[in-house]
């Protein structure tokens, strides 16, 4: 089986993986990072995939209030980790456990039992609540003095196809987690030039 995926390169040399169609591509392209963060990231993404609306054309629409529900709030992107949003779009973040009382217990417990309160979803949304970009990332605490709220080296763009696979895909998620060590030994990393088609 040929593994195909695309790696975004920004002018700042920060890398964001652009996940394509299959879980195998996801594991192969993300490397050892997913070994550490896979459980809480996958569970947070699975919750998100089952919360938003995805139509037959691949349009993703927000179904909750991005300024308050599930602890979500505006993300200013002041450190320039992501591309500036087009006119009419804003970035939002969700996944902060202390402010996300309405998140399901399987998401909350996975973060507390693995890497702490670090997994976040960043999403770019227009005024009509249409989502055109989704990222999974690691959040830094203030005491870590990283100079940024999020780690650009562990910020990954998630495609609509991947969200579709996560919708109600409990069995597939468990298979991935059980075989994580094996997959991490089979890492293949390929790079392609940065392309505006991903913006």
Residue 56 lies in a domain: yes
Q: How many CA atoms lie within 13 A of 92 on its CB side?
A: 22
Residue 3 lies in a domain: no
Strands 73-75 and 6-9: unpaired
Residue 168: give the domain boundaries. Answer: 18-180
Q: Residue 105's pLDDT is what?
A: 75
The answer to whether the beta carbons of residues 193 and 6 sit under 8 Å apart is: no
| Residue 51 pLDDT exceeds 70 | yes
Residue 187 lies in a domain: no
Residue 139 lies in a domain: yes
Residue 94 lies in a domain: yes
Number of domains present in the structure of the chain: 1
Residue 72 lies in a domain: yes
Average pLDDT over residues 158-169: 81
CA distance 70 to 72: 5
Q: What is the mean pLDDT of the chain?
A: 69
The answer to whether the beta carbons of residues 136 and 44 sit under 8 Å apart is: yes
Average pLDDT over residues 52-70: 92
The answer to whether the beta carbons of residues 114 and 37 sit under 8 Å apart is: yes
| Residue 165 pLDDT exceeds 70 | yes
| Residue 59 pLDDT exceeds 90 | yes
Q: Residue 139's pLDDT is what?
A: 82
Average pLDDT over residues 176-180: 50
Residue 10 lies in a domain: no
Furthest-apart CA atoms within the chain: distance in Å: 45
Determine the number of helices (DSSP H) and then strands (DSSP E) in the chain. 6, 9
Q: Residue 41's pLDDT is what?
A: 74
Top-confidence range, 41-50, 68-77, 177-186 = 68-77
Task: Say if residue 132 is exposed, middle or buried (CB neighbours under 10 Å; 0-12, 13-18, 19+).
Answer: middle
6/156: higher pLDDT = 156
28/105: higher pLDDT = 105
Look at residue 181 and give its three-state secondary structure: helix
CA distance 127 to 52: 16
- What burial letters (b/e) apply to 151-183, b meaning 16+ CB within 10 Å? bbebbbbbbbebbebbeebeeebeebeeebeeb
Q: Which residues pair with 124 in a beta bridge?
A: 91, 133
Residue 4 lies in a domain: no
Q: Residue 63's pLDDT is what?
A: 94
Q: Give the single-character DSSP code of 76.
A: -
Look at residue 156 and give its three-state secondary structure: strand
Which tokens belong to 98?
């202390």
């Amino acid at each position: 089986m040929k593994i195909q995926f695309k790696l975004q390169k920004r002018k700042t040399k920060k890398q964001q993986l652009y996940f394509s169609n299959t879980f195998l591509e996801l594991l192969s392209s993300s490397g050892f990072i997913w070994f550490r963060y896979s459980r809480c990231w996958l569970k947070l993404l699975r919750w998100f995939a089952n919360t938003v609306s995805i139509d037959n054309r691949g349009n993703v629409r927000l179904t909750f209030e991005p300024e308050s529900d599930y602890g979500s709030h505006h993300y200013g992107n002041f450190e320039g980790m992501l591309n500036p949003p087009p006119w009419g779009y804003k970035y939002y973040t969700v996944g902060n456990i202390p402010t996300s009382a309405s998140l399901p217990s399987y998401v909350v417990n996975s973060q507390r039992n693995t890497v702490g309160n670090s997994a976040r979803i960043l999403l770019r949304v227009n005024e009509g609540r249409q989502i055109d970009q989704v990222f999974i990332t690691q959040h830094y605490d203030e005491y870590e003095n990283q100079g940024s709220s999020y780690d650009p080296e562990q910020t990954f763009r998630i495609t609509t196809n991947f969200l579709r696979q996560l919708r109600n895909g409990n069995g597939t998620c468990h298979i991935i987690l059980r075989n994580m060590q094996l997959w991490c030994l089979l890492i293949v990393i390929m790079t392609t030039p940065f392309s505006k088609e991903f913006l």
